[in-house]
Structure 1
Amino acid sequence: MLPLKYFVNVVSLFICSALASDVNRVNVAQEQRVQYARDDYLNELLEKALVSAQYPAEIHTVLIHPHQQRTLIALDTKNLDLYWSMSSPERESLAIAIKVPLFKGYIGKRALLTSKNSMNRFKDISTLEQLSKLSAVQGHDWPDTKIMALNDLHVRPFANYQAMFTLTGTGRIDYFPRSFIEVNSELMANKQSNLVIVPNLFISYSTGFYYFVSKSKPALAAAIEKGLKIMQNNGEFDALFNEYFAKDLNSLPYEKGNTVELKLKNPYF
Structure 2
Amino acid sequence: MKLAFLLASVSLSLFSLDSFAASLRVAGSVNDHKLYLTLLKEIVKRSDKYDSLDYVYAKNGEPAVTRVYADLEADRLDVYWTATSIELESRFAPVRFPIYRGMLGMRIGMIHQKDANMLANVRNKTDMMKYSICSGKTWSDTQILESNGFTIAKSLKYKNIFEMMLAGNRCHLFARGLMEPFNEMRTYPELPLAVDKHVMLRYQMPYMFFVNKNNPQLAAHLLQIIEEIFEDGTYEKLFFNEPEVKAVLAQANVSQRVVIELENPYLTEATRSIPKKYFYDPLQP
Equivalent residues of 1:103, 1:181 under 8 A apart: no
Q: Deviations over 1:18-53 (max 9, x none)?
A: 96861123211238xxx7642xx2112112123334
Matched residues in 2 for 1:113 and 1:19: separation? 53
Compute the displacement of 1:187 (Å): 1.2
TM-score (norm 2): 0.79
Amino acid at match of 1:116: Q
Q: What is the DSSP-based 3-state SS (H/G/I as helix, E as strand, rest coil) of the residue aligned with 1:103?
A: coil
Listed one character per residue, the Cα deviations across residues 37-78 of structure 1 (whole Å, up to 9, x for unaligned) are: 42xx21121121233343333321112644334422321215
Identity within the alignment, %: 22
1:247 aligns with 2:246: yes
RMSD: 2.3
Q: Identify the residue that residue 134 of structure 1 maps to in structure 2.
A: 131
Q: Does the aligned pair in 2 maintain the 1:48–1:227 contact within 8 Å?
A: no
Q: Name the structure where helix makes up a greater proportion of residues.
A: 2
1:116 to 97, 113, 118: 113
Q: Distance in 2 between matches of 1:226 and 1:253?
A: 33
| 2:55 is equivalent to residue 61 of structure 1 | yes
Measure the CA separation in 2 of the matches of 1:55 and 1:116. 49
Structure that is richer in strand per residue: 1
Cα gap change, 1:268 to 1:255, in 2 (>3 Å): closer
Compute the TM-score of the two structures, normalised by the length of structure 1.
0.84
For these two proteins, the number of residue pairs brought into alignment is 247
Classify 1:36/1:197 alpha carbon distance in 2 versus 1 (closer, same or farther; 3 Å): farther
1:15 maps to which residue?
none
Report the secondary structure of 2:198's partner residue: strand
Q: Aligned pair in 2 of structure 1 residues 171, 61: CA closer, same or farther (>3 Å)?
A: same
For residue 101 of structure 1, give the secondary structure of its aligned residue in structure 2: coil
* 1:207 matched to 2:205: yes
The CA distance in 1 between the partners of 2:260 and 2:22, in whole Å, is 45
Unpaired stretches in structure 1, ≥5 consecutive residues: 1-17
Q: In structure 2, which of residues 192, 195, 207 is the aligned counterpart of residue 194 of structure 1?
A: 192
- Give the number of the structure whose alpha-carbon radius of gyration is greater: 2
Structure 1 residue 142: deviation in Å? 0.6
In the alignment, what sits opposite 2:102? 105
Is 1:154 aligned with 2:151? yes
Q: Distance in 2 between matches of 1:246 and 1:212?
A: 22
Name the counterpart of 1:231: 229
